[in-house]
Amino acid sequence: MIKIAIYGKGGIGKSTTASNLSMALSEMGYKVMQVGCDPKADSTGALTGGQKITTVLDAIREKGNDVALEDFVTIGDGGVVCIEAGGPTPGVGCAGRGIITAFEKMEALGAFERYQPDIVIYDVLGDVVCGGFAMPIRNGYARNVFVVTSGEKMAIYAAGNIAIAVDNFKARGYARLRGVLLNCRNVEDEEERVAEFADDIDSKIVSVIPRSGTVQQAEALGKTVVAAFPDSEMADVYRKMAQNVLRECEE
CA-CA distances (angstroms) from residue 91 to 80, 88, 94, 95, 157?
Answer: 32, 8, 9, 10, 28
What type of residue sits at position 35? V
Show me where the domains of the chain are located: 2-250
Marked catalytic residue, from 42, 71, 127, 236: 127
40 is an active site residue = yes
Marked catalytic residue, from 31, 40, 52, 170: 40
What is the residue-level pLDDT of the chain in tens, covering all 251 positions? 999 999 998 889 999 999 999 999 999 999 999 999 888 889 999 999 999 999 999 999 999 989 999 999 999 999 999 999 987 665 555 656 678 888 889 999 999 999 999 999 999 877 666 555 676 677 678 889 999 999 999 999 999 988 988 887 766 667 889 999 999 999 999 999 999 999 999 999 999 999 999 999 999 999 999 999 999 999 999 999 999 999 999 87
127 is an active site residue = yes
Q: How far apart are CA 138 and CA 142, in angstroms?
A: 7
Instruction: Look at residue 102 in the predicted model and tell me its pLDDT.
Output: 86
Alpha helices in the chain (DSSP H): 14-27, 56-63, 95-108, 111-115, 153-170, 190-200, 213-220, 225-228, 233-250
66 is an active site residue = no
9 is an active site residue = yes
- This prediction's pTM: 0.93
Beta-bridge partner residues of 177? 145
Q: Which of the listed CATH numbers 3.40.50.1110, 3.40.50.720, 3.40.50.2000, 3.40.50.300 matches domain 2-250? A: 3.40.50.300
